[in-house]
Amino acid sequence: MKRRIFLKGSLATGAIGIAVGAGLITPRMVLAAWPKAAFDSKSVDGAIDSLFGKSTLTGSDKIKIKAPDIAENGAVVPISIETDIDGVESISLIAENNATPLTSSFVLGKGTLAYIATRIKMGKTGNVIAVVKAGNKLYSASKEVKVTIGGCGG
Amino acid sequence: MSSIKMRATLGENGVTTVKVLISHPMDTGLVKDKNTGKFIPAHFIQEVVCEHNGTRLLTAEWGTAISKNPYLSFRFKGGKAGDAIKLNWVDNLGNSDSGEVAIQ
């Protein structure tokens, strides 16, 4: 098993290596630190804990989540998150009832505004949770999305 | 052809809006191929990095739950018309692509 993982890993780095060698991508742009444990976590708390090292969230009404009340197709659920909290460092997007709840995490640069829009897959009805990291604190808000047809396979 | 479609528009308030569409299957690894009955292996973008004049605007870490042919939009301050916005993605199989667009 370990050997298999190792082989997989070396194959992957091999492909990136070739791309870097060919000057297609600059090395520092390659996978800084993809938080595998957080994405593999099967619980919301586990994912948040693994991502930030703690899971204490402060509820905030300064975070606005735009999402449909009912998503007919769980494979494509448009979500946007906006907040006017000061000094936002990152925004993470969690679908509570997905097999692995963490969908994505966005680290913002200096001039980047605290606004993110994307489309996610949702397995079934549940809350979409936005976790905003600002000044070493975690703020969160959630919104329920009813899913008619799940979008994670099966 | 590039997998990346990108547009960056400068608004009157000095805020640039970047909208990106990437063509990618974003396979979760949980879906069975109807013909063979075997699971289609996970194949998804893990990281998207966007830069403006060499400064990092956004690093997006993605799992399998981002929809097929991902859409991403964000906004930033400090862009000028004609400035280059660069984007690069890497997936779990080590594939990558990059694109560039000028702010309009």
pLDDT at A55 over 90: no
Cα–Cα distance, A11 to A1 (Å, whole number): 15
What pLDDT is stored for residue A10 in this prediction? 52
Please state the separation of Cα B80 from the chain's center in Å.
21
pLDDT in tens, B8-55: 999 989 999 999 999 999 999 988 888 888 999 999 999 999 999 889
Contact A154 B31 (CB under 8 A): yes
Sequence ranges of the domains in chain A: 1-32, 37-149
Choose from A31, A52, A94 for mutation: most chain B CBs within 10 A: A31
What pLDDT is stored for residue A28 in this prediction? 43
What pLDDT is stored for residue A2 in this prediction? 55
Return the number of CB contacts < 8 Å for A and B. Answer: 140
Residue B52's closest CA among B74, B72, B37?
B74
Residue A63's closest CA among A39, A80, A44, A77?
A80
pLDDT confidence of A154, banded at 50, 70, 90? very low
What pLDDT is stored for residue A149 in this prediction? 76
Q: For residue A96, count other CB atoms closer than 10 A to its CB.
A: 17
Fill in the DSSP letter of residue B3.
S
pLDDT confidence of A148, banded at 50, 70, 90? confident
Q: What average pLDDT is seen over chain B?
A: 94
Choose from A16, A44, A104 for mutation: most chain B CBs within 10 A: A104
Q: Both tokens of residue A104?
A: 């994505």
What pLDDT is stored for residue A118 in this prediction? 97
Please state the separation of Cα B66 from the chain's center in Å.
11
What pLDDT is stored for residue B28 in this prediction? 93
Q: What is this structure's pTM?
A: 0.84
Cα–Cα distance, B102 to B104 (Å, whole number): 6
Cα–Cα distance, A79 to B88 (Å, whole number): 22
For chain B, the domain total comes to 1
What pLDDT is stored for residue B54 in this prediction? 86
Domain that holds residue B87: 4-102
What pLDDT is stored for residue B12 in this prediction? 87
pLDDT at A11 over 90: no
Contact B49 A115 (CB under 8 A): no
CATH number at residue B59: 2.60.40.10
Q: Are strands A126-134 and A88-95 parallel, antiparallel or unpaired?
A: antiparallel
- Contact list in B for residue A75 (CB cut-off 8 A) is 67-68
Contact A118 B71 (CB under 8 A): yes
What percent of chain A is predicted at pLDDT more than 70? 76
Q: For residue A33, count other CB atoms closer than 10 A to its CB.
A: 9
- Contact list in B for residue A98 (CB cut-off 8 A) is 65
CATH of domain A37-149: 2.60.40.2470
- Find the mean pLDDT for residues B63-88: 95
Maximum Cα–Cα distance for chain A, whole Å?
A: 48
For B56, name the nearest residue in chain A, comparing CA atoms only.
A109
pLDDT in tens, A94-127: 999 999 999 999 999 999 999 999 999 999 999 9
> To 5 degrees, how large is the angle CA B65–CA A137–CA A88?
65
What pLDDT is stored for residue A29 in this prediction? 45
